[in-house]
Structure formats: structure tokens, C-alpha cells
Amino acid sequence: MEKQKTILKEVPYSGIGLHTGNNVTIKLKPAQENTGIVFIRTDLPGSPQVKADISNVISTIRGTTVGLDEKTSIHTIEHLLATLAVYGIDNLIIEMNSNEPPIGDGSAKHFVELVKKAGITELSAEKKQGLTISSPIVYKNGDVLITATPSDRFHIDCTIMYNHPLLKNQFLSIDITPETFEKEIASARTYCFDHEIEALKSKGLAKGGTLENAIVIGAKKIHTQLRYEDEFIRHKILDLIGDTSLLGSSLKMDITAIKCGHKNNTEFAKKIYAEATGQKLTQNKSSWQIPEGRIVDINEIKATIPHRYPFLFLDKVIIVEELKKAVGIKSVSADEPFFQGHFPERPIMPGVLIVEALAQTSCVLLLSKSDLKNKKLAYFMSINNVKFRKPVLPGDTLYLEIEVLKAKQSTGMIKGCAYIEGKLATEAEFTFVLVDKPS
């Protein structure tokens, strides 16, 4: 039987995170058998640990993030995890003094070099029995298709398709071994289109992105010299390896993937887990994933609703689905004026203001469409089933999830939930009416 593996010696690496832009030093440290791959956030009180496991995924927006909650999270882990998986490293401590591994040049090349520098050693325990599949597994989401079939190897056939003059369809079929990974996959860099950059930054992403660590594709030229003619498909395979490695076992299967990405990769991994074990994956109960959507910044918020300081309780809003679902974001500062009297000895955000923040998010959702903006006002007719489950304190970030339950032409019902660190703080239901804005 094959033995479990770790590294021979500790190795450090420093750099900048692609999305957070934070400077970070990571230390890869040998670990005992049956430890697994464990991240340790040394910058947080108590140095919390997060295991690299599919049940700990809390976000897949332009990268894969694991965590106990948003505060205790590690972003963009897929390149590092892919490297560890390919070299068969089962046990490793990854100490980090920030929340995202260094992006390096946008590939996994630096992680390959780091593992080689550390060396690999076998432990006395045998590898845990990996997930095995006895029949094909098919995952489909719209035009995304990912399948897995039983095999005695790890092989990937991958296809990407774009409607772009410089990037059309690409296909690659490859056996995944340490040798092929190092030669054909590890050096492939992350990429984006230049028209996406502004939107990414508005979502708080790509803060550390440069032409030195990402391929940027313009309408008429690629702003970065390619390492491979088909570097884009190679990087998609890199991401797919890293995401599926969260299953925590050696993957012996043939994977066929069409238009894959982080969200679908991890959902595919969950389906493998469910079908291989006969058990539904138990998701981290404390996790709450920030959804993707259109960003409404503070200037557009002010253009949409009449609220102003000190009674504006939103920093930005994510429109997940027009007129149906949105998430407001409010960073609660210690300088908030209401903390002066509520209460000076133990500042707590008044529950009525949390409800007001939910209501303001609802207004932005309802009035953000161009045919309603500056033409309508939203008035609330009732507030029901309000529950306060967790205090909101200075330094917290409120995530205000709004969903329209019923809607007619000018009236409707809304469900609002406020979260802190993935935990429910407040919930309420509203009924509203839209009226013409006075001229």
C-alpha cells in the first residue's frame, strides 16, 4: 500500500495576494500522519485552523475560498492545493500571516519550486482509502458539463469556449502526473479580460493583480506574452485539479470538463463525494457565501434612495437578481454616531437600525432599475417576525440579504436576514408599497 506523505523541512514564501492585495508570508511545515492539509491564520487571535476540505468552501468568486466564516478564511487556494495533490502530499501545516497565499506570477510554478525545496518524505501510515466511483458521474449546470468515469489513472479532457476575437475554443487532453503537471500545467497563469478589471475591483477583487501575475486579454491584443499558445486551457486544468483536491483523497478517474470554473468545479466535487459515499455533504454550518452580482456603489445608492448621513446604513449593495434578491454590505465603524449613546460602556448597534439597514437594502433592490430610479419611493407598511439573534459590535461587517417573497405592481413582501461572520444576527419580514416620487 502507498504511504502518506509530508515535506521534509519547513519552507517560507512571501508575496502579495491576487485578490486581497495583502502582503503575506506563508510557511509550509511538515505534519504528522492523518493531519490533512491545514491552514493556520497566525494573524488572528488564537491562530484558528481551517482544513482544506470541500465542506469548508465558503466562496468561489474568481477563486476558491475556504474558511470557518468570512473573517477566518483563506482565499485563492487552488494553485497551492493542486501542487500538493499532484505530488501526493497528504499532510501539511500552512501557516499564514494574512488571508491569501502569494499569487507569485499567477501560476503554480512557485509552489512546485517550494515543494521541491522542502523535499517530500513518506510517513509510516498508509494512505487513507480514496473516494472510488463505480459508475460515471455527470454534473450539468446550463452549458457547463463535467463528468467523471472510473479509471486507474488521473486524466483530464478539458474544453473552454469564448466568443472573443483572440480567444475562441481550446481543448487539451492530459494524464496528470508530477512530470506532466510540472512541464505542461503548473506554469500556466491566471487570466481575465480587460473589460472585467473595473468590475472585479468594485467587488473588492484583483487588488494585487498586475501584468506580472495575470494574463490580460484586450479586444485587439493580449497584453501579456503567452508561455503556451493554449495557456488558458492549461490554467483551467490547474484550477480544476486544485478544486477537486478538496475531496481530500487521491483522484483515480477520467474527468471530462466543458466550460468549467471554480463554482462548478466545487459543486462537481460535492457530487462525487455524495455518490462515492452515499452521504450528502455536510456543509460548514457557520459559512455564508457572498453571492455574485451587479455592484451598486455608494454613489449609485445615494442616487437611488434619499437617505443620507447619519441615517444611511449601506456601503454598497450586490444586486444578485433584479427585483428579486440583493445583499447590502455595511462596515460598522467605532465612530458611528449611535454608539455615543448606545451604549458608551458597551457599544451595540441598535436593533432598529439593523432593521433599517435591511429596509434600505430593500429600497435599493426595488428602485435600482433605470425605469424606477428617481421616479419612485418605497414605503414600508409593516415589519413582522423580527428576531435579534446576535449583537452587532464595532468592527463587524453586516451582510444584509434581501429576498422578495411576493410582488405585485406596486406592493409586495420581503424577507431580510443580516449576517455577521456567516452567522445570522437579525431577521425580519417587510411589506412595502411603491409610490410616485414628489416632483
Hey, where are the domains in the chain? Answer: 3-277, 294-436
Cell numbers describing residue 377? 419611493
pLDDT at 160: 96
pLDDT at 283: 53
Please confirm, yes or no, whether 342 is among the known catalytic residues: yes
What is the dotted CATH code of the domain comprising 294-436? 3.10.129.10
Please confirm, yes or no, whether 262 is among the known catalytic residues: yes
User: Does 294 have pLDDT greater than 90?
Assistant: no
Which CATH architecture fits 3-277? Answer: 2-Layer Sandwich (3.30)
User: Does 24 have pLDDT greater than 80?
Assistant: yes
| pTM higher than 0.85 | no
40 compared with 287, residue with greater pLDDT: 40
User: Does 289 have pLDDT greater than 70?
Assistant: no
- Dihedral, 195, 200, 203, 207 alpha carbons, nearest 10: -140
User: Does 292 have pLDDT greater than 80?
Assistant: no
Contact 149, 254 (CB under 8 A): yes
pLDDT at 197: 84
Q: What is the tens place of the pLDDT at every residue in 126-172?
A: 887 767 788 899 999 989 999 999 999 999 999 999 989 899 899 99
User: Does 367 have pLDDT greater than 90?
Assistant: no
User: Does 115 have pLDDT greater than 90?
Assistant: yes
pLDDT at 285: 44
pLDDT at 286: 46
User: Does 340 have pLDDT greater than 80?
Assistant: yes
Q: In which band, very low, low, confident or very high, does the pLDDT at 373 lie, cut at 50, 70 and 90?
A: low
Q: In which band, very low, low, confident or very high, does the pLDDT at 288 lie, cut at 50, 70 and 90?
A: low
pLDDT at 200: 79
Average pLDDT, the chain: 90
Residue located via cell numbers 472510488: 132
Mean pLDDT calculated for residue range 77-82? 97
Q: In which band, very low, low, confident or very high, does the pLDDT at 46 lie, cut at 50, 70 and 90?
A: confident
* Residue of 75, 110, 155, 262 with catalytic role: 262
User: Does 377 have pLDDT greater than 90?
Assistant: no
